[in-house]
Amino acid sequence: MKVLEINGGKRLYGETTVQGAKNSALPCLAASLLGKRCVIHNCPNLTDTYACIKIIKMLGAKAELTGNTAIIESAEELKSYKIDDALMKEMRSSIIFLGAILSRCKQAEISYPGGCCIGARPIDMHLDAFRQMGVEIEESCGRIVCNIPKLKSCRIRLPFPSVGATENIMLLGAASNCEITIENAAKEPEIIDLLSFINSMGGNINMDDCGNIYIKGVEELGGTEYRIIPDRIATLTYLCGIAMCGGYGRLNSARYEHIKIPIEILEDMGCALEKGESYIEIKAPGRLKSPGLISTRPYPMFPTDAQAVFMAMATRSKGRSCFIENIFENRFRHIDELKKMRALVSARGNLAYVKGRRKLKNADMEAKDLRGGAALTVAALSAKGLSTVSGVEYIDRGYENIERSFGDLGAEIIRREM
Ligand code: UD1
C-alpha cells in the first residue's frame, strides 16, 4: 500500500510548474485515433493516461508516451472495434473512446462504464445524441453495441451541458461529412482544447458565445503537433495548499483565465494574487476568511473538481461556509476523513456546512476519490505534525506527482510503500 507521509504545519514558499490538463489530454488521445501521426506535448504522466495508451494500442494503433510527449500513429484500419471490460473499468473516461471508435469503424462494442465512487455517471445523453446522428444502439447485459448504417446531419440539444457527451459528439462528428450542431454544449476550457486539437488535424469545429458548437464534418483528418493546456484543477489545488498553509508561491504554466471564479473566491478569502499570462503568484493572509457559499456548476461557474480542496481550506478559515454539490451525488466522501482532523463539517444530501477553526489536528486518513484525496493532502499539509494519506492510487489518477509539486513549494511530503 502506498501512502503520502506529510509533516505539516509549515508555511509554503516556492515555485512549481503545473502539469498538462488530464481532462484535455484524455479526449485528445482518443481524437488522435481519427487522424494520422499526432504528437501531443504536455501530456501528464498519470495512470489514466497509461490506460488511454493501452486502449489505443489494443485498437491497433501505435502509441507511446515518452516523458510528457505522446506519439500516436493511427492505423489505416483499426484491428478492433471493441474495448475489453477490464480496460473500460480501469478508467471511467474510457467512454470518450466510443465516438472515436464509431467514427473509424462504423461500429463499436463496449461494456457499460457503470457507476464510480463519485456518483452514478450515466451516459444516456451520449447515447441519445448518437441516435440522433444515425447510430443504432442496442444495450443488453451491460454491453453497448453500436452500428452506423448512415450518419446524418442534425441539431442536438443537450438537456445539460455534459462534458463527456459534448466530447463524444465532437469525436463522432469531426470526420463525418455531416453538419452537426450541439446546442447547450459544455464550454469547459478542455472542450475548447479538444476543439482546437481536432481543428489542428484539419477539422472544422466552431463554438459561438452562447455555447453552441458547429461541427462541419470533414472527409478525413490528418496529423498534428499540439500542446495540451495546463491543468486548472491542479493549479487550484496548489493555490489552495499555499493559501491554507500560509506563505507565498509561484505557479508556472498556470492560466488565470480558466479559473476566474475560484480565483475571485481566493481573493475574497484574503489572498493576494498576481496573474501573469502564463503564471500565477499567490500570497496567503495571516488567516483566511470563510469562502461563504460555494455552489458547483458547469463552466464558467465553480468547478465540481475544486469543491473538495476549497472545503479543506474552509475548515481552517474564519467563519462559516456552505457547499452545494450540484454535479455529482457522492462527492462528499472526504468529509468523514476531514473530521479525523477535528474539522467541523456536517453534510446533508448535497449540502455541507463548515465551521472554520484555527487549527486542525494531524491524522491518518484515506483518500476515497481523486479530488477528495487532494483535499486531504492539502489539509494535512496545514496541520502541525505527521499525517498520512492512503489511497494514493486515486490521487495518481489526476496528479502527476503531487509530492514533488508540493515539495517544490517547500512542503515536507514523501511517498512511502507500507
Ligand atoms: C464532469 C464535470 C467535469 C469534470 C469531470 C471529472 C461538469 C459539468 N462536468 O465531467 O467538469 O472535469 O466530471 O470530475 O462539471 N449526466 C447524465 N447523463 C449523461 C451524462 C451526464 O445524466 O449522459 C449528468 C452526470 O450524472 C452529472 C452531469 O450530467 O450529474 C455532468 O456530467 P458530465 O459533464 O457529462 O460529466 P463528465 O464528463 O464526467
Of 221, 206, 246, the closest CA to residue 358 belongs to: 246
Of 318, 302, 256, 257, the closest CA to residue 281 belongs to: 256
Distance 136 CA to ligand 1 centre (A): 23
Distance 163 CA to ligand 1 centre (A): 6
Spatial separation of the C-alpha atoms in residues 158 and 167, rounded to whole Å: 12
DSSP letters, 20-67, are: BPHHHHHHHHHHGGGSSEEEEES----HHHHHHHHHHHHTT-EEEEET
Give the mean pLDDT of the chain. 96
Which has the higher per-residue pLDDT, 139 or 169?
A: 169
Distance 116 CA to ligand 1 centre (A): 12
Residue 121 Cα: closest atom of ligand 1: 26
Which has the higher per-residue pLDDT, 115 or 153?
A: 153
Residue 325: CB within 6 Å of ligand 1?
Answer: no
Of 38, 183, 22, the closest CA to residue 100 belongs to: 38
Residue-wise pLDDT tens digits, 312-333: 999 999 999 999 999 998 899 9
State the pLDDT at residue 13: 97
Spatial separation of the C-alpha atoms in residues 227 and 197, rounded to whole Å: 9
Strands 136-140, 179-183: pairing is unpaired
Residue closest by Cα to atom 7 of ligand 1: 298
DSSP code for 259: S
Distance 289 CA to ligand 1 centre (A): 30
Element (H, E) at 108: strand 107-111
Residue-wise pLDDT tens digits, 3-37: 999 999 999 999 999 999 999 999 999 999 999 99
Residue-wise pLDDT tens digits, 281-296: 999 999 999 999 999 9
Spatial separation of the C-alpha atoms in residues 367 and 5, rounded to whole Å: 13
Spatial separation of the C-alpha atoms in residues 324 and 308, rounded to whole Å: 11
What grid cell was written down for 342? 477535528
Give the residue ranges of DSSP H helices in 269-408. Answer: 307-314, 335-339, 370-382, 392-395, 402-408
> Computed from CA positions of residues 375, 381, 383, 389, in that sequence, does the dihedral angle turn out positive or negative?
positive
Residue 211: CB within 6 Å of ligand 1?
Answer: no
Residue-wise pLDDT tens digits, 74-122: 988 899 999 988 888 888 778 999 999 999 999 999 987 755 677 778 8
236 pLDDT more than 80:
yes
Q: Please name every residue paired with 193 in a beta bridge, in sequence order, or none if there are none.
A: none
Spatial separation of the C-alpha atoms in residues 119 and 16, rounded to whole Å: 32
Write down the residue that cell numbers 444495450 correspond to. Answer: 139
For residues 194 and 27, the answer to whether their CB atoms sit within 8 Å is yes
Of 348, 251, 259, 273, the closest CA to residue 310 belongs to: 259
Residue 327: CB within 6 Å of ligand 1?
Answer: yes
State the pLDDT at residue 239: 98
238 pLDDT more than 60:
yes
Residue closest by Cα to atom 25 of ligand 1: 121
**Residues labelled as active-site residues:** 116
Residue 166 Cα: closest atom of ligand 1: 35
Residue 233 Cα: closest atom of ligand 1: 12
